Amino acid sequence: MQVVSLTSLLQAARDEDEVYNYLSSFQCVKNKDVESFLHSSAIPNEKRAFTRTSLIIDDEQEGEIIGYFTLLIKPFDLSEEVSSESRKRLTGDKKAKVFISILIAQLGRDDQYKGKVKGNVILNLALEHCEWIFDLSGLRVVCVEYDDVSYLNDFYLQNDFKILQINSNQKVLSYLRL
């Protein structure tokens, strides 16, 4: 298993269609948004430097995509319900209204690897990249934003994330301090 940046794939490819074709092999029936992002949005977002996507590749299976994650730096407004203690922990200021984080914007595993590669393996690879960002920039808060469903809440809570708030888009915003 190795992690490969989408940028390096684009640079190595003969043409962009080759990379689109490769990405289209990724299947995630349970979460079509995760599948659709990789198929349609990852390359345009990468080219305009909006996000950075990394693919987890199976070395033993002809480079099949095991999963992927996408990172970006994003500010979040803090809702009124967030305590001053949480505000201070996130920003150093108990009256802060906004904080900046590394957002794991996409995190997905291909259907054929379900039961073979656990989701926390992909999450931990994403968090390793977040630690590199922290080492380079000092940005230590990592967030995930997801639908309020029990299996996602359980997954992130079991991986040390803490629920912060429900955002205006009705997604749960959870965070982890590196």
Q: What local confidence, expressed as pLDDT, does residue 30 receive?
A: 86
Is residue 75's pLDDT more than 90?
A: yes
Instruction: Give the pair of three-digit tokens for residue 34.
Output: 């995760």
Q: Determine if the pTM surpasses 0.95.
A: no
Give tens-digit pLDDT for 109-146: 999 999 999 999 999 999 999 999 999 999 999 999 99
Q: How confident is the model at residue 62 (pLDDT cuts 50, 70, 90)?
A: confident
Q: How far is CA 65 from CA 7, 83, 159, in A?
A: 15, 41, 23
C-beta separation of 81 from 164 below 8 A: no
Question: What residue spans define the domains of the chain?
Answer: 2-177
Topology adopted by domain 2-177: Aminopeptidase (3.40.630)
C-beta separation of 128 from 53 below 8 A: no
C-beta separation of 38 from 89 below 8 A: no
Q: How far is CA 154 from CA 60, 125, 163, in A?
A: 31, 19, 11
Cα–Cα dist 131/141, whole Å: 10
